[in-house]
Structure 1
Amino acid sequence: MDLTDGLFELSDKITEISDQINSEEAAKNAFIMPFFDLLGYDTRNPIEFVPEFTADVGNKKGEKVDYAIVIDGQTQMLIEAKWCNNDKLDPHNEQLTRYFTVTNAKIGILTNGVTYKFYTDLEVENKMDRKPFLEIDMTNLKEQEISELKKFYKDAFNIDNILSTAEILKYSNAIKRLITSQFEDPDENFVTYVLSEVYEGRKTQNVKDKFQDIIKKSISQIINSMVREKLESALDTKEEQEAEEVAEAIEEINDAPVYETTEEELSGYYTIKSIFSEFTDPERITYKDTLNYFSVLLDDNTRKWICRLYFNYTNYYIEFPVYNDKGHREDEEKEYIDSVNDLYKFKNRFKQIFEKLEN
């Protein structure tokens, strides 16, 4: 099982049973150790994955951190574990900070098995930062976060590589959170700043309250307008099929449909990903869900769609791109199936489509 599939499988398990875990030890066994197993560490090897690692602090002897990860004889990561129903991890950050200061480890991880917070010493050397440079919610995994987790995989672990991107990751995430929060709910400082630029009257509290709503609506309109303009400008340069896809995207923005990815669609996606693992890196196989169909893509590129799954209808069917002798897509073809397992019947066709997309 590859890392991505394993993480999503663990994510499903956490979502299903986390409310039944009633102790820190249970969280370690059910969630935390399997997480590090997926990253390639032997959690049953006390030399590599050291439990109750001693980290004496000042006059306090016998201080222990839950786990330390040792690679090539060097302590690389410290892990402080908590009960998964303990959703207030930050107070325990002080405990991890003490351990971090007296060891050679450059990565501190605070986790309850659901949330993972990764720390280092970007601000003051040998003193763990108060805020993490990476935070993972296992119940809401994102592709970008999985890409970052791959850097912690045992066989790929390179502390210099991790630290070189940690600063950018930490502050870019902080900036995005700040901007997002201001866009969703502008605070008084932001409202005051905007008023100072556009409003010449007295800035009373009533004026600020009124402008807070105006600012929220204005920001929403600006974002929608920017996205729409970029999509519409693409219509002038793309071929007819690509233009249709862009038009669909514009329609989705305007209509804001509500839909959810079904278990059947995800099952179909993982089946196709498994088939493709025989002739390419399965990580190249991604998907995009839309209101009408579930599209399986190569390299996360909507112009390189492998097939479309229509599983929201009474009869399941799959749509394949049809290519002419020159390798140009000129049509689509539907094939009805009884179940997800029928996808294996199209193995040769998937391989042919892959070869067309590669050329």
Structure 2
Amino acid sequence: MDLIDKIKEIANRYEKQAANIQTEEATKNALVMPFIAALGYDIFNPSEVIPEFTADVGIKKGEKVDYAIKKDDQIILLFECKHCGANLQNEHASQLYRYFHTSAARFGVLTNGLIYQFYSDIEEPNKMDEKPFFEFDIRDIADNHINELKKFAKTNFSLSDIINTASQLKYKGELIKCLEREAENPSDALIKFFVAQIYQGRATQPIIELFGKLVKEGLNEFINHRINSRLKSALSQPTTAPTPEPSKDEAIAEDNKSDIVTTPEEHEGFLVVKAIARQVISPKRVIMRDTKSYCGILLDDNNRKPICRLHFNASKKYIEIGRSGIRIPIDDVDDIYNHTQDIQQSIKDYESGGEQ
């Protein structure tokens, strides 16, 4: 089983057992230890994976970090674990910070079993950085995350290789966060940059305020256009995978819906909604169920939890969010992005039990 399959298996376990993972110890047993095992370390060998590793800090004796990972008789990784419901805040990182300089490890991991933050001493030797150089969520893990994570696997671990790329990872991650902030709320510096590039007159305060709105809208339209272009490209790629023979029950079901045609626009709309939803839930929970009159997009394939309905079968397109019953006209599939907050709120309402 590949590393990505092992990580997805852990994420699936969480989805099924979340209600039973209520403590830090349960988080360690159900999520963190399987994660360490997925990297190839023997969690049952205390000379390789050391639980409750003692890391004396100054006058504080007996301070313990949750796990220390050894390779070639050297401590290479420290794990500090929190409950899976915990937000990983600075005060949690400060605990790992205290242990970091007392061991020979160059890497520390702060985790709640779902989100993993990898720290090192890129800025100053033997002093853990304030910000992680690598971070991911196992519920939304991508190929680039797996490629970096493989470097920490037992068979691949190379201190020099990781250190050489850690600073690039850190700064690229910070750059992405900066771009996200600018797209959400453009800074004065960015607004003035675009004013200088585009506007020929004097940059008065009304012009700055006008461009503030234009920059935000322009950035988001640009991002949405790029996403939509990628989706269209993916939809246009022919598939060569063989189609399995349907079972008898499946064949009957297909006969019953043989006159239902899912159009390319409905496929595209589904992928747009899935991209919006993945910011609040695992995208695997977003299911498309087409009908004769509309294309339904459901949470957990549950008819009682419609995320939205796509009414694309007439000349005029509409979307219906949640159970509102209100059809909102749109001109293009891209316009679904204009309703991102309402779609995400619909999902959050189902998650909180606000809509039954």
**TM-score normalised by the shorter chain: which range applies?**
0.5 to 0.7
Could you give the per-residue CA deviations for residues 82-122 of structure 1, whole angstroms, max 9, x where no partner exists? 11111233321111111001111000000110110000000
Give the corresponding residue for 1:108. 108
For residues 179 and 155 of structure 2, the distance between their equivalents in structure 1, rounded to whole angstroms, comes to 36
Give the corresponding residue for 1:97. 97
For residues 19 and 191 of structure 1, the distance between their equivalents in structure 2, rounded to whole angstroms, comes to 46
Give the corresponding residue for 2:204. 203
AA aligned opposite 2:12:
D
Give the corresponding residue for 1:258. 270
Quote the sequence identity (%).
Answer: 38
AA aligned opposite 1:83:
H
**Shift in Å, 1:202:** 5.2
AA aligned opposite 1:124:
E
Q: Cα distance 1:80–1:196, how it changes in 2: closer, same or farther (>3 A)?
A: same
Give the corresponding residue for 1:42. 42
Other structure's SS at 2:126 match: coil
Give the corresponding residue for 1:328. none
AA aligned opposite 1:103:
S
**Shift in Å, 1:188:** 3.2
For residues 224 and 27 of structure 1, the distance between their equivalents in structure 2, rounded to whole angstroms, comes to 36
Q: Cα distance 1:160–1:210, how it changes in 2: closer, same or farther (>3 A)?
A: same
Aligned residues: 253
For residues 201 and 99 of structure 1, the distance between their equivalents in structure 2, rounded to whole angstroms, comes to 55
**Shift in Å, 1:222:** 5.1
> Do the aligned partners of 1:118 and 1:133 also contact (CA within 8 Å) in 2?
yes
**Shift in Å, 1:170:** 0.9
> Do the aligned partners of 2:78 and 2:109 also contact (CA within 8 Å) in 1?
yes
For residues 155 and 230 of structure 2, the distance between their equivalents in structure 1, rounded to whole angstroms, comes to 41
AA aligned opposite 1:59:
I
Give the corresponding residue for 2:304. none
> Do the aligned partners of 1:41 and 1:49 also contact (CA within 8 Å) in 2?
yes
Mean alpha-carbon deviation: is it higher for 12-21 or for 154-163?
12-21
AA aligned opposite 1:31:
L
Other structure's SS at 1:84 match: coil
**Shift in Å, 1:55:** 0.8
For residues 84 and 21 of structure 1, the distance between their equivalents in structure 2, rounded to whole angstroms, comes to 7
Mean alpha-carbon deviation: is it higher for 211-220 or for 109-118?
211-220
> Do the aligned partners of 1:67 and 1:80 also contact (CA within 8 Å) in 2?
yes
Q: Cα distance 1:17–1:225, how it changes in 2: closer, same or farther (>3 A)?
A: closer
For residues 135 and 218 of structure 2, the distance between their equivalents in structure 1, rounded to whole angstroms, comes to 31
For residues 192 and 149 of structure 1, the distance between their equivalents in structure 2, rounded to whole angstroms, comes to 39
For residues 103 and 38 of structure 2, the distance between their equivalents in structure 1, rounded to whole angstroms, comes to 25
Task: Output aligned runs, 1:82-161, within 5 Å.
Answer: 82-161=82-161
AA aligned opposite 2:69:
I
Could you give the per-residue CA deviations for residues 24-82 of structure 1, whole angstroms, max 9, x where no partner exists? 11100010001011111111111110011111111111111111001111011111111
> Do the aligned partners of 1:14 and 1:138 also contact (CA within 8 Å) in 2?
no
Mean alpha-carbon deviation: is it higher for 109-118 or for 217-226?
217-226
TM-score of the superposition, structure 1-length normalised?
0.62
Aligned-pair Cα RMSD in Å? 3.4
Mean alpha-carbon deviation: is it higher for 106-115 or for 3-12?
3-12
Task: Output aligned runs, 1:1-359, within 5 Å.
Answer: 1-199=1-199, 200-201=201-202, 203-204=204-205, 206-220=206-220, 245=237, 257-259=269-271
Is there any run of 5+ residues in structure 2 with no aligned partner, and where?
239-263, 275-282, 288-294, 296-356
AA aligned opposite 2:146:
I
Could you give the per-residue CA deviations for residues 325-346 of structure 1, whole angstroms, max 9, x where no partner exists? xxxxxxxxxxxxxxxxxxxxxx
TM-score of the superposition, structure 2-length normalised?
0.62
Other structure's SS at 2:103 match: coil
For residues 189 and 14 of structure 2, the distance between their equivalents in structure 1, rounded to whole angstroms, comes to 39
For residues 226 and 15 of structure 2, the distance between their equivalents in structure 1, rounded to whole angstroms, comes to 36
AA aligned opposite 1:203:
T
> Do the aligned partners of 2:88 and 2:111 also contact (CA within 8 Å) in 1?
no
**Shift in Å, 1:176:** 2.1
For residues 149 and 161 of structure 2, the distance between their equivalents in structure 1, rounded to whole angstroms, comes to 12
